[in-house]
Chains A and B, each alone.
Chain A
Amino acid sequence: MPARILIALLAALVLVAPAYAKRETLKVVVAEPYIEMHTGPGRGYPVFHVADRGAQIEVLKRRTDWFEVRTDRGVTGWVRDAQLAQTLQTSGEPLVISDPGWDDFASRRWETSLSLGDFDGASSISLTGAWRMSANLSVELLAAQLSGDYSDGWMAGLRLVHTPFPDWRISPYLLLGTGVLTISPRASLVSTEDRTDQYGQAGLGLRAYLTRRFMFRAEYTGDIVFTSRDDNEEVEEWKAGFAFFF
């Protein structure tokens, strides 16, 4: 049975591959006196060819800020985005290269972040995924791994994040959350049992829009762990990291 699935997949791939290969490429016409072609996608790579005004070039692919192009003479090289933006499309319109920017940031729907921090003395690595319901409010899922000197653990939770000033480039946010926390003592210690408890948290954070799809995030939260013992445990937590939206 797996062999059959494999054959079916291969057949699908064979059928799809030519369609993929035949995809139409973007063709532009050089409008400036010339356009410089570099040997690689980076500023240090030497210019080895120039395409003159009126030459038609085919845009093959993009890697970060660089575009791989092929001239009508068959020379392939890399062109910086700013230079390619000065070419014209075959219809005569100028070529518009769109990069995600502030407008996309303001209208973002999904956001994901990765941060490092401290959870009551233990190191933490957290991953979040958020869905923005409105300009101010978003729901966020969190998973974190904690490693301390005497124990390590996991956290998984749901948070409600409120951003009072979404138009600010550096904007504070408030959060409320809850979830479960599992702590297991180090194997080298005289073993006590793993504990899984519910926690509630409230916190304050800062989100700064950096560039394109990227943001910097830092936050401080106060957590209350509802233990099965007599006292609830209070934990302070801070973290900082990068986020990107899509």
Chain B
Amino acid sequence: MESRIRVFLLRLALLGMAAAGAAGCASKSLDREAEADQARPVIDPQVERRDVSRPKVDTEDFEVGGYIGFLSIEDFGSNTVYGARLAYHITEGLFAEATLGQSDAGKTSYEILSGSSAPLLTSDEREFRYYDFSLGYNLLPGEVFIGSNHAFNSALYLLVGAGSTRFAGDDYFTFTYGAGYRVLALDWLALHFDVRDHMFDIDITGEDKSTHNIEFTLGATVFF
């Protein structure tokens, strides 16, 4: 009986020790957790930065292209003209434009009547080249309807500018003014019909005079 009680007490002691040991371990691990909790701040500032790459919107304010048409050079007949144009759209109404063009002058009626004996200009001098810078304004923007399913944006614009013309061996300061009609066949493709006057003073026919050189052109430009 006594031995039974002894075994019981022994078991109790063992259990107690085991419990104490377990409790000790538990308290230790709790301590560690507390330590870890203390080490970790309440708000973790180390948020992983998101890689935001905002896609850029393509800006299409420039227009580049070419044109071909007729240029009536005062006293020298009408001839084919061709050129290149670059425009920058500042606002929906206003744009700046640079043009570069070339044509070849024909003969004056005097030269034709007198035969080819007395040419006024050499063939080099007959080259008519110009550049000019203009400001344009989309005066009448609108839409063109073709059939019932197609609408194209368009604009009637006015242009005023200045530049230089190389003709008859000299450079002449040139004023230009005109009007044009632009139709956007596609979102990025525009068709132009332009009428322009290149005005400059020249004394090639013996007297100082202001000449008007009217140009009609058809062109195409691309927005980029």
Complex Cα gap A214–B89 (Å): 12
- B173→A62 contact, CB < 8 A: no
- Chain A contacts of B163 at CB under 8 A? 125
Residues of A within 8 A of B90 (CB): 64, 212, 214
Query: Once the chains are docked, how many angstroms separate the CA of A34 from the CA of B188?
Result: 28
- Provide the bound-state CA to CA distance between A43 and B52, in Å: 33
Are the C-beta atoms of B143 and A152 separated by less than 8 Å?
A: no
Size of the B side of the interface (Cβ < 8 Å), in residues, is 38
CB contact list, B179-224 vs A, under 8 A: 187, 201, 203-204, 208, 223
1/0 contact string of A113-154 vs chain B (CB within 8 Å): 010100000110100000000000000000001010100100
CB pair B92–A64 under 8 Å, yes or no, is yes
Among B10-18, B54-62, B67-75, the one that faces the other chain is: B54-62
Chain B nearest CB, measured from A119 CB (Å): 11
Which one of B93, B142, B171, B208 contacts A152 once the chains associate, using CB atoms below 8 Å?
Answer: B171
- The answer to the question of A228 belonging to the interface, with a C-beta cut-off of 8 Å to chain B, is no
Whether B133 is near chain A, meaning CB under 8 Å from some CB there, is: yes
A87 to B51, CA, bound (A): 21
Chain A residues with Cβ below 8 Å from B151 are: 39
CB within 8 Å of B: which of A196-246? 212, 214, 242
Contact A39 B92 (CB under 8 A): no
Q: CA separation between A242 and B95, bound complex, in Å?
A: 13
Please state if B141 and A44 are interface contacts (CB–CB under 8 Å).
yes
Instruction: Check: A91 CB closer than 8 A to any chain B CB.
Output: yes
* B46 close to chain A: CB less than 8 A: no
A184 nearest CB neighbor, chain B only: B170
Among A39-63, those with CB < 8 Å from B are 39-45, 59-63
Contact of A125 with B54 in the complex, beta carbons under 8 Å: no
Q: Does A73 count as interface, using CB distance less than 8 angstroms?
A: no
Say whether B92 contacts A26, CB under 8 Å. Answer: no
Choose one: A42, A62, A125, A187; the contact of B141 (CB below 8 Å).
Answer: A42
B172 contacts which of A43, A64, A147 (Cβ < 8 Å)?
A147
Question: CA A186 – CA B172 in complex, angstroms?
Answer: 10
Task: Select which of A61, A63, A125 is within 8 A of B164 by beta carbon.
Answer: A125
Q: What residues of B have a CB within 8 angstroms of the CB of A192 in the complex?
A: none
Mask of A60-101 contacts with B, CB within 8 angstroms, 1/0: 111111111000000000000000000001010000000000
With most chain A CB atoms within 10 A of its CB, the pick from B57, B168, B208 is B57
Chain A residues contacting B141 (CB-CB under 8 Å) are 40, 42, 44-45
Q: How far is the CA of A191 from the CA of B167 in the complex (A)?
A: 17
A66 / chain B contacts, CB cutoff of 8 Å = 92
Q: Which residues of A contact B64 (CB under 8 A)?
A: none
Asked, given contacts A64-B90, A65-B92, A152-B170, whether A45 binds B54 with beta carbons under 8 Å apart, the answer is: no
Q: Do residues B60 and A63 form an inter-chain contact, with CB atoms below 8 A?
A: yes
Given known contacts A25-B55, A39-B153, A123-B173, is B60 in contact with A187 (CB within 8 Å)? no
Decide: A40 near B143, CB < 8 A? Known: A23-B55, A26-B57, A66-B92: yes
CA distance A41 to B56 in the complex (A): 19
Q: Are B58 and A40 in contact (CB under 8 A)?
A: no
- For residue B210, give the distance in angstroms from its CB to the closest CB of chain A: 12
**Cα of A114 to Cα of B96 in the assembled complex, Å:** 11
Nearest A residue to B132, CB-CB: A125
- In the complex the two chains form, is B59's CB within 8 Å of A62's CB? yes
Q: Is A24 an interface residue (CB 8 A)?
A: yes
Tell me the complex Cα distance, A63–B93, Å: 11
* Residue in A66, A114, A147 whose Cβ sees the most chain B Cβ within 10 Å: A147
CB distance from B153 to the nearest CB of A (A): 4
Question: Is the Cβ of A147 less than 8 Å from the Cβ of B173?
Answer: yes
**Chain B 146-175 per-residue mask, 1 if CB under 8 angstroms from chain A, else 0:** 000001010000000011100011111100
A-B contact pairs, 30 of them (CB 8 A): A23-B58, A24-B55, A26-B56, A39-B151, A41-B153, A45-B141, A45-B153, A59-B57, A61-B57, A61-B60, A61-B187, A62-B60, A63-B60, A63-B89, A63-B92, A63-B223, A91-B52, A114-B133, A123-B173, A125-B133, A125-B162, A145-B164, A145-B171, A147-B164, A149-B201, A149-B208, A152-B170, A188-B170, A212-B90, A214-B90
Given A125-B133, A152-B171, 17 other A-B residues pairs in contact with their CB atoms under 8 A: A23-B55, A26-B56, A41-B92, A41-B153, A42-B141, A61-B57, A61-B59, A61-B60, A64-B92, A89-B54, A91-B52, A114-B133, A125-B163, A145-B171, A147-B172, A187-B125, A188-B168
